[in-house]
Amino acid sequence: MVEVATASISGRVKACRVHDLLHDLAIWLSENEKFSIMARAMQSKGPAG
């Protein structure tokens, strides 16, 4: 499901979002079809000290 995230005062859509289950499905399908490469964020530790 695609949902309106923000809209202008006049009612025009400024941003939208995808339901998390649909997002996961789209990622799974694109990886299986070798349609895209997903960059995963690496967790980094802050400065030591």
What are the pLDDT digits (tens) for 14-24?
999 999 999 89
Q: Which amino acid is at 13?
A: V
Would you say residue 48 lies in a domain? no
Assess if residue 25 is contained within a domain: yes
Q: Does a structural domain hold residue 49? A: no
Q: What is the mean pLDDT of residues 28-45?
A: 72
Would you say residue 22 lies in a domain?
Answer: yes
User: Dihedrals φ, ψ of 47, to 5°?
Assistant: -60, 135
Count of structural domains within the chain = 1
Looking up tokens 């006049």 gives 10
Residue 6 neighbours by CB distance under 10 Å: 9
Domain encompassing residue 17: 2-32
pTM: 0.51
Please indicate, yes or no, if residue 40 is contained in any of the structural domains: no
